[in-house]
Amino acid sequence: MANHKSALKRIRANNKKRLENRYYAKTMRNSLKDIRLTENKSEANAKLPVVTSLIDKLAKKGIIHKNKAANLKSGLMKKINKM
């Protein structure tokens, strides 16, 4: 257990950030699943800007790596264009 007041505060802050990061990552995964299961091309094209914006925001915050963000967006574009 931490002995210093600042170490205790750091533990609390890390737990809070971890929960927020998990929430945002799960939200992204759910939106990716939603757009991947979409069969209609026009519907998928309508959802694409929202999902790519979410992915970019997570990459900017450092929740996911920028290369992972690029790979996810690239895969979505390929899937939608193939429909």
When the pLDDT of each residue in the chain is averaged and rounded to a whole number, the result is 94
Domain boundaries in the chain? 41-83
Q: With beta carbons less than 8 A apart as the criterion, state whether 36 and 77 touch.
A: no
Q: What are the CA-CA distances from residue 23 to residues 17, 27, 28, 76 (Å)?
A: 10, 6, 9, 21
Q: Give residue-wise pLDDT tens across range 42-76.
A: 999 999 999 999 999 999 999 999 999 999 999 99
